[in-house]
Structure 1
Amino acid sequence: MNISFTKQQEKYIQEQVASGEYQNNSEVIRDALRLHTIYREKVIRDLRAEIEKAWDAPISNKTVKDIIAEKNLQK
């Protein structure tokens, strides 16, 4: 497998190894992939929970424009 990194990513990987927390570049990448997997699973779980809430919610008379306007007011 051949993987390309940006200069910034290479620098980050090198800094992590230099910190002593990781023995080599591969450990940094494996940890990053592990954390990415955890993050993705959480995002999917959260999205599914929101979809379930929406399915179970009462029908709204609001239009999409109404909802967007309300969200913009909350900012």
Structure 2
Amino acid sequence: MTTNATSTAPGTRLRLDPTKCSGHGLCAELLGEHIALDEWGYPIIAERDIPAPLLADARRAVTDCPALALRLEGAARR
């Protein structure tokens, strides 16, 4: 079975709790393909499923967030 580099993890999205976020920007460093920073350094999360090759990076962004403001939602949370 071959994998498609552009395949996604169906239904898996990154969510942000803006009340917890303090704008460290670490998430954008770890997952820049999916997270941009606004002019004040707060994350803007792409509203699309996370591509399968980026799931490990997404999990790391969630676990390394200093404010615990990120979570994975959907099928590949584990």
Bin of the TM-score, shorter chain as denominator length: under 0.3
> Which structure is higher in strand share?
2
Larger radius of gyration: 1
**TM-score (ref. length: structure 1):** 0.24
Structure having greater relative contact order (Cα 8 Å, sep ≥ 6): 2
More helix by share: 1
- Report the TM-score, using the length of structure 2 for normalisation: 0.23
